[in-house]
Structure 1
Amino acid sequence: MIMTVVVGVQEQHTVVFSFDKVWGRLSITVDGQSVVDTVRVVSLSRVATWEFPVGWNERHIVRIEKHRAAFFAGFRPQPVYAYVNGVLVAQNSA
C-alpha cells in the first residue's frame, strides 16, 4: 500500500507512506528523504502514530496514523490516515 500526500501551497513537499502488510516493511519519506524506515512484525499498540514537521519557510506538522484490529490484523484492513496541521487530508487501507 502506498499513499502520497502533497503538503504546502507555495513550498510544496511530497510525503509518501508505504506499508507492506505481508512483510511488515514500513517507510515514510519526504521529498525522497527517509523519515521512517522500519519493519513491524509484532505490535501491542492498535494505533501507530508518526508526527514530523515538513517545510522550511512554510512549516506544516504531518501526522500519520495506522490503525489495526485487535485480532488477526494481518488478514483485516488496516486503515491509514494522514493529517496536515490536524486536518485529515488523505486516507487509505492496507
Structure 2
Amino acid sequence: MSEKQINPKLVEAIGYFGSFLSCVTFIPQVYLTWESKNVESLSLLMILIVNFSCIVWLTYAYLIKSKPVLVANTIVLTLSLMLLYFKLTF
C-alpha cells in the first residue's frame, strides 16, 4: 500500500495561511488599545506568555528553517510587544 504524496507547495500555502491568521488575531486588540488608551482589561500575564511563546517559536523556526513560522511569530511578537508597551505606559 503506497501513501499519496502531499504537494509541498500546498503544505507551504497552508503554513502561510495559518501564519496570516495568527497575525490577524492581534490586530484588532492593538488597534482598540491604541485608540482607546484603555489597558485595564489587558492581562499582563497573557502578554508576557505570548512574548515568551513567540521567542520559543522563533528559535524553533530558525533551527528548522520554517519561513511561515518565522514570519508569523515575528509579526505576532511585534504586535504583542506593542500591547506590552501600551500596558506599561497607558
Q: Same fold (TM over 0.5)?
A: no
Which is higher, the Rg of structure 1 or of structure 2?
2
Higher relative contact order at CA 8 Å, sep ≥6: structure 1 or structure 2?
A: 2
Structure showing the higher helix proportion among its residues: 2
Name the structure with the higher strand share. 1
TM-score by length of 2: 0.27
- TM-score, normalised to structure 1, is 0.27
